[in-house]
Amino acid sequence: MRLRTTFVLASRSPRRRRLLEQIGIAFEIDPSDVDESAPDDMEPHMVAEMLASRKAEDVAPRRRDAITLGADTIVVLGGEILGKPSGSVEACEMLRRLSGNTHTVYTGIALLHPRTERSICVSEATSVTFGRMDADEIEAYVASGSPMDKAGAYGIQDDRGALFVERIDGDFYNVVGLPLRRLYRTLRESFTDLLSPST
């Protein structure tokens, strides 16, 4: 996908960077450092969208001619949002809770183009079912360090993290951190004039 204008990723996430590279979007990185707290009574999809918008709105004013992408991924189990673990103990506890259960991964994506005053925010939901994990499996995965920077303490794209997933219902890439189909369709529908004819 090619754009007529600069595309900015408002994130340091190496996973989102790789996914944008995968679909051929040329982009620049301008990370946001906004507060990621949210009201306890807010619906999960709204939390993901709010945080994605907050990130995009933090960066977009200094990149007025660019399309800025803000994104946020959350893991929800039994109505509770599981954020990034604070340490290995919390990571183990999260994985024990996910073991043998189905949770939902929400990713909000916000696209802002200040020059034309366009602002679009949508979200994608994917259900993920984990198989049963024993304590040794969980501890070995946590000891690898991989879960520590990920919502819900796992990455479906990780060598070991992938072994826990029994089934998914929805967009695989949404679980990684960026729903590529939804991003593509949103750009096609809302920013057609900023796409190259060959897109």
Task: Enter the tokens of residue 179.
Answer: 């729903």
Tell me if 199 is assigned to some domain.
no
* Cα–Cα distance measured from residue 141 to residue 122, given in angstroms and rounded to the nearest whole number: 32
Q: Which residues of 116-142 are buried (b: 16+ CB within 10 A; e: fewer)?
A: eeebbbbbbbbebebeebeeebbeebb
> What CATH number is attached to the domain comprising 70?
3.90.950.10
Do the beta carbons of residue 67 and residue 113 sit within 8 Å? yes
Structural domain of 14: 7-194
Question: What confidence tier does 199 reach under pLDDT thresholds 50, 70, 90?
Answer: low
Q: Is residue 34 part of a domain?
A: yes
The one-letter amino acid code at 83 reads G
What is the pLDDT of the chain when averaged over all its residues? 94
The one catalytic residue among 72, 158, 159, 171:
72
What SS3 state is found at 72?
A: strand
| pTM, full prediction | 0.93
2 is a domain residue: no
Can you read off the two tokens belonging to residue 9? 């990723």
- Give residue 189's identity as a one-letter amino acid code: E
Which candidate, 74, 100, 97, places its Cα nearest to that of 164?
100
Total structural domains within the chain: 1
pLDDT in tens, 102-161: 999 999 999 999 999 999 999 999 999 999 999 999 999 999 999 998 999 999 988 788
Please check whether residue 70 lies inside any domain of the structure.
Answer: yes
Alpha-carbon span 101 to 96, nearest angstrom: 10
Within a domain: residue 99? yes
Tell whether 1 is covered by a domain.
Answer: no
Sort strands 7-9 and 67-77 into parallel, antiparallel or unpaired.
parallel
> Quick check: is 72 catalytic?
yes
